[in-house]
């Protein structure tokens, strides 16, 4: 079969710099690229949703039971269900009616129970509600007050040791805020009420990141301002007292935003921060924050290097697997000064070997922001549309998901876009649609989640980096009629359309990096399976989109895991499999490149 000699696309570009583990206080690690790098599809909220365009400093939660994503966009809470087969998302407004919002909205979803807290500052305290059913119903909590106010965070996790006397909920719930000093309170009844405030002692103060709780019950409050170093607050007694830790070798940036922590099942902590030179950094601790190693400058994993970064967020999966997302730029200078004129993109760095090496990809193909960012809070007159942070999580099947506000949409996202046009804050999720993910069980393939149930809310199609107002429809295709009479007994996957041998079907290609899937039943003793794909006509300069044809027996193919494929530089692709195994063969129409979607026809012939 014909094959394309692939050039590494910009989305996956990363140099092969091999990193070696260094001891504490040594120079930062270099990092390495690895095979099967993650690919991301960007999902923008429907414009009909209230606050879809007002998503500065969004929060993102993942329900590990239902698989739903929960997204906080200013005063609105959305439930987002992603259908990987069509690379599309259904967004539903599930805002709690019982919580008042003012400034600094916040959301957090428990990584074990799926309980989601949503709300925001209401004066010096926060009005919060929680839901155990992805926003179908909500329970209002008592006001959470930490003794100080501003930049609040809420998180929940395991108790440290036995639950405190009188506790009525299986998980500790923490609420922290700051006003020069950081202070936290603990709830022992699932967030209904909170205890007395406790100041975070030690060297840390000022703006902090999101609270995260380790499986062993240690809770972390990351902070970039710990006596000139990155570090954070920590409690090992369920919030009765808080001290702080620092990361040797780290430096505090002169201005900027929050660091972030994530913890793997073996209680290894990864913290990511904006270094003193604004490079993106990460380190790990296997000793509950008392010592740190594998300090890595992630900026060196791209070419040209990332020399400015901000909005670090983290997530993790299996032991040894973690990811860091951040806005980054290759333009030098001070990006927090209005004299800086660079471009910000969203990057994701992933480790599969406990921080020995990192793979970095650019998750967007047009800017997230043009020009400087103001880090002076409410005194800013411009450059403040994205506010203070973004958020990140791991899907039920191990995919990396990043909730961010897109500050450069419509005309700004074109090649002629200007800084003056970069003033939006559009609710968007970068969703890992292919590549190695954070669960080892899914290596070689990314298992698609269940298709979303019908919802009266509007849905948004996948459109990597596309402007929300101009996002093309992706992945919709007509379902053919009945499967062959000699098909295997039972349909293992009713959600994937079944092709009838010899019958042509038509569909619409997914956005770049996405798939449209079918399946075909192959009876015992079949001589061959022939697949023929015809897509949009190509010009002398290439195909837009450029689509490929993949197939695999028993499960959906990806570029990293397939039985056979045709991946030429044209949109006429043919695959023949001789003596195919009996059973269902899955067929994927993969969009290799392009800024448009287009119609295609597909025929499967079993003989």
- Residue 490 belongs to a domain: no
User: Looking at 430, 448, 468, which one is the last position of a domain?
Assistant: 468
- Work out how many domains the chain is built from and give that number: 2
CA distances from 440 to 147, 180, 265, 398, 445 (A): 43, 42, 13, 9, 10
**Distance from C-alpha of 189 to C-alpha of 211, rounded to nearest angstrom:** 18
- Residue 177 belongs to a domain: yes
- Residue 378, classed as helix, strand or coil, is helix
User: Looking at 468, 484, 512, which one is the last position of a domain?
Assistant: 468
**Distance from C-alpha of 1 to C-alpha of 194, rounded to nearest angstrom:** 65
pTM of the full predicted structure? 0.70
Residues 596 and 462 in one domain: no
**Distance from C-alpha of 498 to C-alpha of 496, rounded to nearest angstrom:** 6
Structure tokens at 578: 């001789």
- Residue 287 belongs to a domain: yes
Structure tokens at 102: 């003012």
**Cβ-count burial 475-501 (b if 16+ within 10 Å, e if not):** bebeebeebbeebeeeeeeeebbbbbb
- Residue 493 belongs to a domain: no
- Concatenating the DSSP letter of every residue in 84-118 gives TTTTEEEEEE---TT----EEEEEEE-TTT--EEE
- Residue 41, classed as helix, strand or coil, is strand
C-beta of residue 205 within 8 angstroms of C-beta of residue 217:
no
| Cβ count near 236 (within 10 Å) | 18
Residues 417 and 507 in one domain: no
**Cβ-count burial 582-603 (b if 16+ within 10 Å, e if not):** eebbbbbbbbbbbeebbebebb
Residues 94 and 216 in one domain: yes
Residues 202 and 76 in one domain: yes
CA distances from 225 to 179, 203, 206, 522 (A): 13, 8, 7, 62
- Residue 545 belongs to a domain: yes
Q: What is the DSSP letter of 30?
A: P
Please enumerate in sequence order all residues whose Cβ is within 8 A of that of 382, keeping only pairs 6 or more positions apart, or say none. 338, 374
- Residue 482 belongs to a domain: no
- Residue 468, classed as helix, strand or coil, is helix
pLDDT in tens, 89-124: 999 999 998 776 667 899 999 999 999 999 988 888
Residues 459 and 507 in one domain: no
Residues 354 and 420 in one domain: yes
Residues 57 and 196 in one domain: yes
Pairing of strands 515-522, 498-499: parallel
**Distance from C-alpha of 464 to C-alpha of 33, rounded to nearest angstrom:** 22
Q: Which residues pair with 3 in a beta bridge?
A: 567
Residues 436 and 536 in one domain: no
pLDDT in tens, 274-306: 999 999 999 999 999 999 999 999 999 999 999
pLDDT for 389: 95
Residues 50 and 134 in one domain: yes
Pairing of strands 505-508, 599-606: antiparallel
Which among 563, 511, 587, 533 is positioned nearest to 39, based on CA atoms? 511
Residues 431 and 514 in one domain: no
Instruction: Give me the domain span that covers residue 77.
Output: 19-468
- Residue 480 belongs to a domain: no
User: Looking at 449, 468, 487, which one is the last position of a domain?
Assistant: 468
Q: Which residues pair with 126 in a beta bridge?
A: 121, 144
C-beta of residue 45 within 8 angstroms of C-beta of residue 52:
yes
**Distance from C-alpha of 547 to C-alpha of 545, rounded to nearest angstrom:** 6
Q: Which residues of the chain have pLDDT under 70?
A: 1-35, 100-102, 444-490, 540
pLDDT for 444: 53
The pair phi, psi for residue 224, each rounded to 5°, is -90, 0
CA distances from 33 to 16, 321, 361, 589 (A): 5, 14, 9, 27
Residues 430 and 293 in one domain: yes
Which among 559, 551, 545 is positioned nearest to 598, based on CA atoms? 545
C-beta of residue 290 within 8 angstroms of C-beta of residue 284:
no
Structure tokens at 141: 């909590």
> What is the domain-level CATH number for residue 529?
2.60.120.380
- Residue 575 belongs to a domain: yes
C-beta of residue 131 within 8 angstroms of C-beta of residue 115:
yes
Residue written as token pair 């919802």 = 455
pLDDT for 41: 95
> What is the domain-level CATH number for residue 352?
2.130.10.10
Half-sphere exposure at residue 533, Cβ-oriented, CA atoms within 13 angstroms = 32
- Considering just the CA atoms, what is the radius of gyration of the chain in Å? 24
pLDDT for 540: 65
Q: Which residues pair with 549 in a beta bridge?
A: 566, 589
Structure tokens at 220: 């972390």
SS (H, E, C) 153-220: EEEEECCCCCCCCCCCCCCEEEEEEEECEEEEEEECCCCCCCCCCEEECCCECCCECCCEECCCCCEE
**Cβ-count burial 256-273 (b if 16+ within 10 Å, e if not):** bbbbbbbbbeebbbbbbb
Torsion, CA 477, CA 481, CA 482, CA 486, rounded to 10: -80
pLDDT for 523: 87
**Cβ-count burial 432-463 (b if 16+ within 10 Å, e if not):** bbbbbbbbeebeebbbbbebbeeeeeebbbbb
Residues 438 and 512 in one domain: no
């Amino acid at each position: 079969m014909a094959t394309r000699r692939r050039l590494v696309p910009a989305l996956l570009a990363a140099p092969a710099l091999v990193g070696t583990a260094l001891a504490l206080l040594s120079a930062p690690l270099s990092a390495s690229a690895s095979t099967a790098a993650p690919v991301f599809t960007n999902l923008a909220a429907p414009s009909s949703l209230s606050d879809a365009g007002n998503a500065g400093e969004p929060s993102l939660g993942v329900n590990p039971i239902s698989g739903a994503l929960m997204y906080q966009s200013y005063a609105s809470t959305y439930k987002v269900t992603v259908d990987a087969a069509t690379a599309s998302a259904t967004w539903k407004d599930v805002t709690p009616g019982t919580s008042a919002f003012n400034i600094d909205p916040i959301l957090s979803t428990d990584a074990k129970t799926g309980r989601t807290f949503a709300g925001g500052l209401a004066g010096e305290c926060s009005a919060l509600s929680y839901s155990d059913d992805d926003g179908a119903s909500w329970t209002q909590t008592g006001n959470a007050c930490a003794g100080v106010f501003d930049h609040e965070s809420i998180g929940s996790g395991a108790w440290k040791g036995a639950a405190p006397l009188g506790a009525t909920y299986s998980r500790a719930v923490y609420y922290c805020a700051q006003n020069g000093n950081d202070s936290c309170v603990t709830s022992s009844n699932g967030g209904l009420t909170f205890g007395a405030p406790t100041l975070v002692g030690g060297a840390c103060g000022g703006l902090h990141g999101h609270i995260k709780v380790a499986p062993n019950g240690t809770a972390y409050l990351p902070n970039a301002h710990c006596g000139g170093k990155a570090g954070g607050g920590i409690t090992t007694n369920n919030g009765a007292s808080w001290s702080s830790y620092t990361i040797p070798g780290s430096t505090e940036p002169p201005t900027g935003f929050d660091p972030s922590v994530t913890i793997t099942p073996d209680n290894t902590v990864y913290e990511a921060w904006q270094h003193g030179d604004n490079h993106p950094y990460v380190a790990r601790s296997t000793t509950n924050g008392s010592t740190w190693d594998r300090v890595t400058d992630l900026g060196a994993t791209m070419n040209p290097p990332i020399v400015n970064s901000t909005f670090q967020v983290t997530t993790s999966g299996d032991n040894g697997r973690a990811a860091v997302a951040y806005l980054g730029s290759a333009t030098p200078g001070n990006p927090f000064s209005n004299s800086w004129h660079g471009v910000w993109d969203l990057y994701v760095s992933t480790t599969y070997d406990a921080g020995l090496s990192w793979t970095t990809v650019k998750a967007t193909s047009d800017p997230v922001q043009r020009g400087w960012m103001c880090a002076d809070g409410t005194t800013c007159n411009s450059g403040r549309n994205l506010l203070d942070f973004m958020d990140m999580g791991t899907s039920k099947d191990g995919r990396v998901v990043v909730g961010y506000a897109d500050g450069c949409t419509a005309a700004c996202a074109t090649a002629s876009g200007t800084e003056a046009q970069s003033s939006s804050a559009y609710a968007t999720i970068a969703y890992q649609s292919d590549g190695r993910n954070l669960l080892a069980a899914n290596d070689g393939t990314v298992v698609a989640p269940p298709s979303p149930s019908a919802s009266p809310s509007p849905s948004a199609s996948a459109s990597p980096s596309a402007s929300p107002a101009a996002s093309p429809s992706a992945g919709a295709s007509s379902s053919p009629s009945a499967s062959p009479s000699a098909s295997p007994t039972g349909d293992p996957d009713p959600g994937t359309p079944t092709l009838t041998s010899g019958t042509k079907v038509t569909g619409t290609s997914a956005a770049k990096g996405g798939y449209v899937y079918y399946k075909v039943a192959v009876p015992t003793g079949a001589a061959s399976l022939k697949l023929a794909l015809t897509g949009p006509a190509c010009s002398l300069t290439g195909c837009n989109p450029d689509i490929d044809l993949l197939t695999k027996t028993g499960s959906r193919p990806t570029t990293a895991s397939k039985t056979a494929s045709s991946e030429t530089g044209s949109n006429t692709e043919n695959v023949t499999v001789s003596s195919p195994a009996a059973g269902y063969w899955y067929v994927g129409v993969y969009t290799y490149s392009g800024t448009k979607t287009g119609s295609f026809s597909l025929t499967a012939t079993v003989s």
